[in-house]
Amino acid sequence: MDYFVSIDGYFRAGRKGGYGFIIRDNVGKPIVASAVASTEAVSFLYHLVEGITRAVELAVEFSLRDIRLFCNAKHVVRLVNRAVQTVSGCRLHCNLKNHFDVICKICVKKRVKEEYGLVFPLLKRIGQLQDEFHTQLQTVKVSKERNKAADYLAKNAAPGTEVLHPCNFPDELKEILCTDYVSGVELFRMTSVVVVILVLKKMVQCFHLNSYGNLFSCFRVVFFLYAVMIL
C-alpha cells in the first residue's frame, strides 16, 4: 500500500523554526503526525529538510515501505529528489574524487549555499534509508492549498511535542483533514486523465490503420475511465 506524507517547514528569523508532517494511507486515513519546534531558528530550507528526514525515519519505524513525500517548496523538492537520485552514484560527477558520501556532495552544494554543512548530513540520512523502501523515494510538489494539514502542524509546533497519534489530533487539524488530502482515488483520477489521452492517441492511430476491433476496445477503456472520473 502507498502512504502519503505531507510535510511543511516553518521559519521566522530569530524567533521560531520547526516542521510538521502527517502520514496518511491511500484513502486519506491518518497514521501518525509530527510537529516539532527547534530551539534555534535556522532557515526554512533547513527545517523543511529536517522534517522530510524525520518523516522518512518515522515511516521506517512504522514499517511503511511505499511512501510518497509531498511539500509545497519547489526548490526543496528538486534538492531532495536530486540527492536521492545519486544514492547509487552520480552520472554528472562520476569522474571526480572525494565528492561522494552516500549521495553526491557536488549536486547538493550546487543547490544549497550557506546551509550546506547542516543540510548535507540530513540528505545523507535520507540516502542511507533509501534501501528500507520498495521504491525510490520521491518528493512531489503540491500547492500550498493541498498542504494545509502540514502547514497547520508546522505553524503550531511546540517544543516537547513530537509524535501525534490520530486520537490526540486537535479539532482544527481534524477539520483540515476533511478537505486536505491526496487520496489514492484522487491520484487514480489524475492518472486516468493521462491514460485517456494516451488511449485517444491510440484510437487515432487505429482509425488511420482501419483497425476497427482495436478502436472498439479503446472506446470501452475511455468510457470506463470517464465513468470513474465523474463518480
Per CB under 5 A, does 103 bind Zn ion? no
Piece in contact with Zn ion (CB under 5 A), picked from 22-30, 56-64, 93-101, 139-147: 93-101
**Least Å from the CB of residue 113 to Zn ion:** 16
Per CB under 5 A, does 93 bind Zn ion? yes
* Kind plus residue range of the DSSP H or E element containing 6: strand 3-12
State the Cα–Cα distance between residues 33 and 20, nearest whole angstrom: 7
Among the listed residues 13, 106, 204, 229, the single contact to Zn ion using CB under 5 A: 106
Per CB under 5 A, does 111 bind Zn ion? no
Per CB under 5 A, does 96 bind Zn ion? no
**Least Å from the CB of residue 94 to Zn ion:** 8
Per CB under 5 A, does 189 bind Zn ion? no
Cell of 111: 543547490
Per CB under 5 A, does 104 bind Zn ion? yes
Q: Which long-range contacts (CB under 8 A, 24 or more apart) does 161-168 make?
A: 161/35, 161/36, 162/34, 162/35, 162/36, 163/32, 163/33, 163/34, 163/58, 164/32, 164/33, 164/34, 164/35, 165/32, 166/30, 166/31, 166/32, 166/33
Chain positions 126 to 145 lying near Zn ion, rule: CB under 5 A, are none
For Zn ion, the closer CB: 54 or 124 = 124
Query: Rounded to a whole number, what is the distance in angstroms from the first to the last CA of the chain?
Result: 23
Binding site for Zn ion (CB under 5 A): 90, 92-93, 104, 106-107
